[in-house]
């Protein structure tokens, strides 16, 4: 059974561990450098009145996924950006769906009108996930250079709340 709740600073180390495994494998996130629990705590503390963070926990209370929404400088004030991470080997089991239910409710409560998801064009799993939630393409960026020097295309998808 998967339980979803608001994330806290106490979850940051587990979230960083999960995210770093995804970063290390590569190919599904634009993030290319490992993060620490302190990095995530800092990010969680920035814009607390405009952001929402959720974790998915398994029956052993282990973090198996997390998702956040927050404002983004390249988006209008009525939109927020979303990021989703699910433990390697646990995708396709409904974790992302449960996270999105909580996150979309939080976005409404925060007064957002729509949610933006920007996904690497070569991340078929991520594209499929957001498409299955009802996101639709609205912007395409070609030749984006990541911090590692890798050049990728990115697709931005929009979900109207």
CATH 1.10.3720.10, domain 3-160, yes or no? no
The string of pLDDT tens digits covering residues 11-62 is 999 999 999 999 987 766 777 788 999 999 999 999 899 999 999 999 899 9
DSSP string across 19-50: HHHHHHH-SS-S--S---HHHHHHHHHSSTTT
Tokens encoding 8 = 């806290």
- How far is it, in rounded angstroms, from Cα 1 to Cα 59? 6
The residues pairing with 157 across neighbouring beta strands, listed in sequence order, are 117, 137
Confidence of residue 146 (pLDDT cuts 50, 70, 90): confident
pTM of the model: 0.92
> Coil, strand or helix: which one is 132?
helix
CA atoms within 13 A on the CB side of 99: 29
- As a whole number of angstroms, the distance between CA 23 and CA 19 comes to 6
Where exactly are the structural domains of the chain? 3-160
| CA-CA-CA-CA dihedral for 104, 110, 114, 120, to nearest 10 | -70
Reported as a pLDDT band with limits 50, 70 and 90, residue 70 is very high
Beta bridge partners of 45: none
pLDDT for residue 104 is more than 70: yes
């Amino acid at each position: 059974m998967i339980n979803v709740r608001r994330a806290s600073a106490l979850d940051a180390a587990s979230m960083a561990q999960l995210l770093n495994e995804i970063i290390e494998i590569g190919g599904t996130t634009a993030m290319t450098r490992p993060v620490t629990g302190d990095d995530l705590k800092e990010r969680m503390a920035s814009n607390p009145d405009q952001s929402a963070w959720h974790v998915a926990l398994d029956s052993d209370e282990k973090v198996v996924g997390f998702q956040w929404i927050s404002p983004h400088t390249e988006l209008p004030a009525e939109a927020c950006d979303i990021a989703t991470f699910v433990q390697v080997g646990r995708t396709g089991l409904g974790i992302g769906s449960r996270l999105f239910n909580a996150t979309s409710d939080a976005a409404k409560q925060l007064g957002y009108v729509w949610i933006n998801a920007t996904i690497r064009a070569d991340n078929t799993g991520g594209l499929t996930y957001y498409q299955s939630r009802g996101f639709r393409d609205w912007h395409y960026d070609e030749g984006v250079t990541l911090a590692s020097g890798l050049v990728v295309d990115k697709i931005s998808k929009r979900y109207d709340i």
